[in-house]
């Protein structure tokens, strides 16, 4: 199904063509026709499916079809996103789609100056993309009003709830005087989400491009059971021996992310950081280096990586399993896109075995465990003894618990550096 067959303005079709969009993705095929007819939409769509165009193109076209003069402090469409990165990305996509038409878009989110955002809102805007927290500040200060809002979108609604934005969402909803056409997109559905969906949607068309809480079929999932204090070494070895060239590594703690990047660099693997303490421009720079292949590894925390356009990767590694099993779906959504094979690897220590079961329940499949020679976790009894003598460590302290004597560590590192230098050699198989 092509975009020109969907009655979009030729200027939009031309812009989409320049973006490399010829055919509608499945979520676009399902969402665009009912959205154009004015229905509310409840969409179960994973990251990387083309959902931004699915909700924004019908709105852009409707704005073009029913032109209204812009009024100060008024927006015609509001799109809510959980993170500033996602908000910026949605706004950028819309700018790309509206290159040849007169539709204005503004993005407002925390971390940028209020005053420049106030100036943008003062002029009035067709499409406003915002994070809930910053938007509430503007609402409270009277910088924007939604009494005549025509369109409302919740993108990655599950993440907004996880991040505790429910109060802000209610404040925003209370500022409406009528029901705008509303679309809610989410990769996962919890009971809290279903309650929210019932409150905000009227007779929605339900669409789904994947099983609920499922991950793409093109992703090969594997679990490597490994002790916490051997994970870093295993990561370097896998990258080197399997000759992985582009790897997104998820960690739960910022401290682990910092430590891991330093350690990978010592092993001769160029790695960049993406976590909440890094400013937005630093995160974007890291992402650019990673995408351009200047860095082989990007180490990220969930919230920081959220919204960054880093789909279509060959390898995603869960260095730690996520605290929330649903986040596994988000993380893995970065790989295995557009029919390409993706590789989703999880390092699972004894502490994380329960979380693994929860992950398997969420994705509805059992993940293959492979014990790698040399990395077998300590037997459960030894692990329990260790727990009784020392508190389980998390984060930076892990390094000091590393049982590897200095000399052996130096030798291992030298071996690793040599191996990584031969980065373009054919991948060798790890025994496992």
Which positions touch ligand AMP (CB under 6 A)? 20-21, 23-25, 28, 47-53, 309, 311
Q: Which is nearer to ligand AMP, 80 or 257 (CB)?
A: 80
Sheet holding 271-274, edge to edge: 271-274, 297-300, 247-250, 315-318, 342-348, 219-225, 368-369
Q: Which is nearer to ligand AMP, 50 or 336 (CB)?
A: 50
Q: Which is nearer to ligand AMP, 82 or 225 (CB)?
A: 82
Burial class (CB in 10 A: 0-12, 13-18, 19+), 418: exposed
Q: Which is nearer to ligand AMP, 52 or 355 (CB)?
A: 52
Pairwise CA distance, residues 226 & 348, whole Å: 6
Q: Which is nearer to ligand AMP, 25 or 44 (CB)?
A: 25
Pairwise CA distance, residues 53 & 209, whole Å: 14
Yes or no: say if 274 and 299 are a contact pair by the CB < 8 Å rule.
Answer: yes
Pairwise CA distance, residues 410 & 188, whole Å: 45
Q: Which is nearer to ligand AMP, 280 or 311 (CB)?
A: 311
Contact partners, residue 313, CB within 8 Å, separation at least 6: 246, 247, 248, 334, 335, 342
Taking the complex as a whole, the smallest distance from the CB of residue 370 to ligand AMP amounts, in Å, to 31
Taking the complex as a whole, the smallest distance from the CB of residue 96 to ligand AMP amounts, in Å, to 8
Q: Which alpha helices (H) appear in 175-230, and where do they start and end? A: 191-200
Cα–Cα distances in angstroms (integers) from residue 194 to residues 43, 79, 132, 185, 393, in the given order? 12, 19, 19, 12, 37
Q: How many CA atoms lie within 13 A of 31 on its CB side?
A: 30
Cα–Cα distances in angstroms (integers) from residue 65 to residues 7, 81, 95, 98, 253, in the given order? 11, 26, 18, 14, 48
Cα–Cα distances in angstroms (integers) from residue 6 to residues 22, 25, 170, 354, in the given order? 12, 13, 35, 47
Taking the complex as a whole, the smallest distance from the CB of residue 315 to ligand AMP amounts, in Å, to 18
Q: Which is nearer to ligand AMP, 255 or 309 (CB)?
A: 309
Taking the complex as a whole, the smallest distance from the CB of residue 288 to ligand AMP amounts, in Å, to 15
Taking the complex as a whole, the smallest distance from the CB of residue 42 to ligand AMP amounts, in Å, to 17
Taking the complex as a whole, the smallest distance from the CB of residue 99 to ligand AMP amounts, in Å, to 14
Q: Which is nearer to ligand AMP, 47 or 349 (CB)?
A: 47
- Residue bearing tokens 């109060």: 167
Q: Which is nearer to ligand AMP, 15 or 257 (CB)?
A: 15
Pairwise CA distance, residues 257 & 274, whole Å: 8
Q: Which H or E run includes 58?
A: helix 51-65
Taking the complex as a whole, the smallest distance from the CB of residue 25 to ligand AMP amounts, in Å, to 5
Length of the chain (residues): 432
Taking the complex as a whole, the smallest distance from the CB of residue 386 to ligand AMP amounts, in Å, to 43
Torsion region of 226: left, alpha or beta (phi above 0 gives left; psi -120 to 50 gives alpha): beta
Taking the complex as a whole, the smallest distance from the CB of residue 218 to ligand AMP amounts, in Å, to 15
């Amino acid at each position: 199904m092509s975009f020109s067959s969907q009655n979009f303005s030729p200027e939009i079709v031309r812009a989409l063509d320049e973006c490399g969009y010829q055919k509608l993705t499945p979520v676009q095929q399902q969402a665009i026709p009912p959205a154009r007819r004015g229905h509310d939409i409840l969409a179960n769509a994973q990251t990387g499916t083309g959902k931004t165009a699915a909700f924004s193109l019908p709105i852009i076209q409707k704005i073009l079809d029913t032109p209204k003069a812009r009024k100060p402090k008024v927006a015609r469409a509001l799109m809510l996103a959980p993170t500033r990165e996602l908000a910026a990305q949605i706004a950028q996509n819309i700018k790309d789609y509206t290159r040849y038409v007169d539709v204005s878009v503004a993005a407002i989110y925390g971390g940028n100056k209020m005053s420049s955002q106030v100036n943008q809102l003062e002029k009035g805007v067709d499409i406003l993309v915002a994070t809930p927290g910053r938007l509430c500040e503007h609402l409270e200060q009277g910088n924007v009003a939604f009494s005549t809002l025509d369109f409302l979108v919740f993108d990655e609604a599950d993440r907004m709830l996880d991040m505790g934005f429910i109060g802000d969402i209610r404040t925003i909803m209370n500022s409406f005087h009528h029901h705008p056409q509303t679309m809610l997109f989410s990769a996962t559905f919890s009971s809290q989400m279903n309650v929210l969906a019932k409150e905000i949607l009227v007779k929605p068309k339900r669409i789904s491009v994947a099983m609920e809480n499922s991950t793409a079929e093109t992703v090969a999932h594997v679990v490597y059971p490994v002790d916490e204090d051997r994970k870093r070494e295993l990561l370097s070895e896998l990258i080197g021996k399997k000759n992985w060239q582009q790897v997104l590594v998820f960690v739960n703690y910022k401290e682990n992310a910092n430590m891991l990047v330093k350690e990978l660099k010592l092993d001769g693997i160029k790695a960049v950081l993406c976590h909440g303490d890094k400013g937005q421009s630093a995160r974007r720079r890291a992402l650019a280096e990673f995408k351009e292949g200047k860095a082989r590894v990007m180490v990220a925390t969930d919230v920081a990586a959220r919204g960054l356009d880093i789909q279509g990767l060959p390898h995603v590694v869960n260095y730690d399993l996520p605290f929330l099993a649903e986040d596994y779906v988000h993380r893995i959504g970065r790989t295995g896109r557009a029919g390409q094979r993706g590789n989703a690897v999880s390092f699972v220590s004894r502490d994380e075995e329960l979380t693994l079961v929860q992950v398997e329940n969420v994705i509805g499949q059992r993940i293959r465990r492979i014990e790698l020679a040399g990395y077998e976790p300590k037997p459960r009894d030894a692990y329990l003894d260790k727990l009784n003598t020392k508190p389980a460590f998390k984060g930076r302290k892990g390094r000091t618990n590393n049982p590897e004597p200095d000399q052996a560590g130096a030798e291992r590192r030298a071996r690793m550096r040599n191996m990584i230098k031969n980065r373009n050699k054919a991948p060798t198989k790890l025994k496992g």
